Amino acid sequence: SKPSVLLTRNDYPEEGVKLLREHFQVDTWKSALGISKEELTSALNGKFGVFCSLSDKIDADVLKNASDLKVIATMSVGYDHLDLKEIKQRKIRVGYTPNVLTEATAELTMALLLATSRRILESHKAIHKGEWKSWAPNFMCGPALQGSTVGIVGCGRIGLSVLEKLIPFKVSKFLYTSRSKKPEVEKHGAIHTDIDALCRESDFIILTSALTPDTHQLINRIRLESMKSTAILINTSRGQLVDQDALIDVLRDGKLRGAGLDVMYPEPLPLDSPLLKLDNCVIIPHIGSAQIETRQEMARITAQNIINVFQNKPMIYEVPL
Ligand code: GLV
Ligand code: GLV
């Protein structure tokens, strides 16, 4: 009989699901709300592979019955939800989906930059609230990208794509942080700097780093308070890069002009979160890669990663362990 693969939700794009059916018995978790930790733990029993997403946390506990598991394929570029140390010990391979979502995520980052700086949602709400009384010289004014200093934290593929998209906007200076200097970033005149200087000097601070122990709470209270009161923070990476309570304080106290967040914690955000009460915070529900073809391609690659392990071939994108 064919080996079995678990899908952790019932709404993964058909492009991936139908590929898997050609090779495996496919067991699909019955809902589109995602599988619980307990259900996942028991469902991994006897599985060759699992097709999962960033909302499936896979740690030692979850893997305790997974003695047949050979591959975990996540339909995401981030893999901070996976306990790589435990996974490596069990000689399980890990696939993910970088590159294909770079442009979609960079576009979404641009959308947040413009929505926050030009106060799009606030303006839209103002009309609904009857606050548009007449054209007014100071109504809904915001800062320009032109002439500004933009700081890109963790300038990898996504950060570089954002930088390139910003060039026609006539930004005057780019700063970036990354473990090493990057020629492909510096060829655009960007300056490598440390995180403290980037936070102090930038008008727009864009977070694109992966979440690791080194980047966890990187944007702490001290760094948030060191930012210009006219600055805007954009996060399309992972919520845990930022001390969210401190972010709420600086946004509320006018120490930071605005924030655009595709990610936060927890996700989904509870409806009573103070973040939702701030007019200077644009919040969207983790949709960085939510572009139709991108999601189809992510599903296809995720499935192919599992198939390739079965066929003893290199994965399309494998996380080095
Ligand atoms: C999205 O956040 C991803 O990691 O793909
Ligand atoms: C993130 O991992 C990236 O592609 O920049």
* Homologous superfamily of the 102-283 domain (CATH): NAD(P)-binding Rossmann-like Domain (3.40.50.720)
CA–CA gap between residue 209 and residue 178 (Å, rounded): 9
Ligand closest to Cα of 99 equals: 2
- Ligand 1, closest atom to CA 79? 4
pLDDT value of residue 236: 98
Q: What is the mean pLDDT of the chain?
A: 97
For the domain made up of 4-100+292-310, give the CATH fold.
Rossmann fold (3.40.50)
- What is the complex's ipTM, to 2 decimals? 0.77
Q: Whose CA is nearest to atom 1 of ligand 1?
A: 76
How far is ligand 1, taken at its centre, from the CA of residue 265, in Å?
14
Residues 92-102, mean pLDDT to the nearest whole number: 98
- Ligand 2, closest atom to CA 155? 5
Residue ranges of the chain that CATH labels 3.40.50.720: 4-100+292-310, 102-283
Task: Using a pLDDT cut of 70, give the percent of the chain over it.
Answer: 100
Residues 88-106, mean pLDDT to the nearest whole number: 98
Residue 128 corresponds to which amino acid?
H
How far is ligand 2, taken at its centre, from the CA of residue 3, in Å?
32
Half-sphere exposure (CA, 13 Å, Cβ side) for 167?
Answer: 11
Residues 6+ apart with CB under 8 A from 260: 112, 113, 115, 116, 232, 233, 234, 235, 281, 282
100 lines ligand 1 (CB under 6 A): no
**pTM for this predicted structure:** 0.96
The beta strands (E) that lie in 167-231 are given as 173-177, 191-192, 204-207
Residue 216 catalytic? no
Ligand closest to Cα of 289 equals: 1
How far is ligand 1, taken at its centre, from the CA of residue 269, in Å?
17
76 lines ligand 1 (CB under 6 A): yes
CA–CA gap between residue 275 and residue 295 (Å, rounded): 28
Confidence of residue 34 (pLDDT cuts 50, 70, 90): confident
pLDDT digits (tens, 9 = 90+) for 101-140: 999 999 999 999 999 999 999 999 999 999 999 999 999 9
